[in-house]
Amino acid sequence: MNPILHDFMNLWQVKKQITLDEALPTMVDLLLPKQQVEEHIIPHLSAQSRDILRSRRRTKKVDIPVYDDDIGEGFEGSTELELEKSGGEYFLANWTHVIMRRRAMRGRQIQAGDYLVMNFRSDGKFHISIEKGF
């Protein structure tokens, strides 16, 4: 299948509504929908990353390449995002980087009721976007 068509058809496989607490710049991690993570994110991770998440350690973290489609930038180096598994739940660790980067851009702030949407694309990155809630 054409990669562009495939990307379009699978657009936004993970969708998470942002709560009031999650929209604050003090929120470090974002709770993600477990079933959506296991169906649409985990299969795209490397075997080593999947093994880390399945390990018996209490808290497990793996780096994930994330690109913010709305602002046209990725998160790398000190702002890299991580997928964390703790107590059977999945979190997007370092969520603060997303909030702070958007606070600096007029009209891009995240508010309670907005949706974080996320999918994996053929460029090897997880793409995110914010859809405004109603």
Region of 26 please: left (phi>0), alpha (psi -120 to 50) or beta: alpha
Instruction: Express each pLDDT in 112-129 by its tens digit.
Output: 999 999 988 888 888 999
The pLDDT of residue 62 is 92
- DSSP-assigned letters across all residues of 46-67: -HHHHHHHHSS-SEEEEEE-EE
Parent domain of 108: 3-131
For the chain, what's the residue count? Answer: 134
Mean pLDDT value across residues 32-40:
91
Tokens, residue 112:
């309670």
Give the separation between CA 56 and CA 105, rounded to whole angstroms: 40
The pLDDT of residue 3 is 52
Number of separate domains in the chain: 1
Q: Does 11 have pLDDT greater than 70? A: no
Give the separation between CA 52 and CA 61, rounded to whole angstroms: 7
Listed in sequence order, the DSSP H helices in 1-134 are 3-9, 34-40, 47-54, 95-103
Q: Are strands 81-86 and 73-75 parallel, antiparallel or unpaired?
A: unpaired
Instruction: Express each pLDDT in 38-89 by its tens digit.
Output: 998 899 899 999 999 988 877 789 998 899 998 888 888 767 889 999 888 9
The pLDDT of residue 18 is 93
CATH code: domain of residue 31: 2.40.330.10
Q: Say if CB 124 and CB 65 are below 8 A apart.
A: yes
| pLDDT band at residue 9 under the 50/70/90 scheme | very low
